């Protein structure tokens, strides 16, 4: 399997936990107090509670259910109900490979995680979830521009899987990079990176542009949104 960009590094501060999905893989991603990032199968080895509901305590993740503590290598080292016990080394969730590059968190559940090479002069702007598939989201980019009478230039495809593209919306910004992560058939995440020279005002314009793209993309999905 290839590595997938599941989130922005900046959205996972020390002591935070998030949940990521890659196909059938349900993953808890967390960052320790000192900044070490880990990606584990989202099931507590004790009774199967989602570890993404857990709490970071220093360099450990504590399960929300019975408070078992797992260190950054995944080993359980503390069971509150039996404080005197040294848990066996087998009590350990499945560990996935995770790396951070270009401000993105990349996970590969079946092999060593690797990042796709992107230009260096980028800053991560935000992550948006679309309730539709990747092609509908892509198509909505040009139809949104048409609708607004703006020009829109699809740029290069930097990667097919996961799909990473550059786009230019000359009225707002050029060289926008969008990295998609399709986490379910009708659920795609778009990570947006922009040139690091872009002003705050233009960054907000890009963010709002992507929101209108989402409104277009989802127009046929729900009558209410």
The site for other proteins (CB under 8 A) is made up of 7-8, 11, 13, 15-16, 18-19, 33, 52, 55-58, 60, 62-67, 69, 78, 80-81, 125-127, 129, 189, 200, 203-204, 207-208, 211, 222, 224-225
Instruction: Mark residues 96-115: x for contact with ligand FES by CB under 6 A, - for none.
Output: --------------------
Q: Say if residue 112 is exposed, middle or buried (CB neighbours under 10 Å; 0-12, 13-18, 19+).
A: exposed
Cβ closest to ligand FES, residue 68 vs residue 130? 68
Question: What would the DSSP string read from start to end of 117-153?
Answer: P--SSEEEEEEEEESS-HHHHHHHHHHHHHHHT---E
For tokens 């379910």, name the residue: 184
**Under a CB-based contact definition with an 8 Å cutoff, are residues 164 and 157 in contact?**
yes
Task: Pick what 44 binds: other proteins, ligand FES, none; C-beta below 5 to 8 Å, kind-dependent.
Answer: ligand FES
Task: Pick what 62 binds: other proteins, ligand FES, none; C-beta below 5 to 8 Å, kind-dependent.
Answer: other proteins
Asked if residue 162 has a cis previous peptide bond (ω within 30° of 0), the answer is: yes
What ranges make up the beta strands (E) of the chain? 4-8, 17-22, 25-31, 37-41, 55-57, 60-62, 69-71, 76-78, 95-101, 104-108, 122-130, 153-159, 164-169, 173-184, 187-195
Cβ closest to other proteins, residue 32 vs residue 153? 32
Q: Greatest CA separation found in the chain?
A: 69
Cβ closest to ligand FES, residue 77 vs residue 101? 77
Cβ closest to other proteins, residue 29 vs residue 164? 29
For tokens 């989602």, name the residue: 50
Cβ closest to ligand FES, residue 85 vs residue 171? 85
Task: Pick what 217 binds: other proteins, ligand FES, none; C-beta below 5 to 8 Å, kind-dependent.
Answer: none
Contacts of 39 (CB under 8 A, 6+ apart): 20, 27, 28, 29, 95, 96, 97, 98, 107
Q: Choose the binding region for ligand FES from 61-69, 108-116, 170-178, 185-193 (rule: CB under 6 A).
A: 61-69
For position 82 contacting ligand FES by CB under 6 A, the verdict is no
Asked if residue 31 has a cis previous peptide bond (ω within 30° of 0), the answer is: no
For position 40 contacting ligand FES by CB under 6 A, the verdict is no
For position 68 contacting ligand FES by CB under 6 A, the verdict is yes
For position 49 contacting ligand FES by CB under 6 A, the verdict is yes
Q: Catalog residues that contact ligand FES under the rule CB under 6 A.
A: 44, 46-47, 49, 63, 65-68
């Amino acid at each position: 399997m290839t590595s997938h960009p599941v989130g922005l590094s900046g959205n996972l501060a020390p002591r935070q936990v998030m949940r990521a999905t890659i196909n059938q893989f349900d993953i808890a991603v967390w960052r320790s107090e000192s900044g070490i990032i880990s990606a584990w199968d989202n099931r507590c080895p004790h009774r199967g509670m989602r570890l993404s509901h857990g709490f970071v305590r220093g360099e450990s993740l504590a399960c929300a259910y019975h408070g078992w503590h797992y260190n950054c290598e995944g080993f359980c080292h503390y069971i509150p109900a039996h404080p005197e016990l040294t848990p066996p080394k087998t009590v350990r969730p499945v560990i996935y490979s995770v790396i951070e590059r270009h401000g993105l968190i990349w996970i590969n559940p079946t092999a060593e995680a690797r990042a796709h090479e992107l230009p260096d002069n980028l800053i991560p702007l935000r992550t948006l979830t679309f309730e539709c598939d990747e092609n509908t989201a892509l198509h909505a980019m040009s139809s949104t521009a048409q609708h607004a009478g703006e020009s829109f230039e699809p740029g290069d495809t930097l990667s097919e899987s996961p799909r990473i593209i550059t786009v230019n919306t000359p009225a707002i910004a050029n060289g926008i990079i969008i990295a998609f992560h399709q986490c379910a058939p009708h659920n795609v995440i778009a990570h947006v990176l922009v040139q690091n020279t872009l002003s705050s005002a233009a960054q907000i314009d890009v963010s709002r542009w992507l929101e209108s793209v989402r409104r277009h993309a989802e127009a046929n999905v729900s009558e209410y949104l």
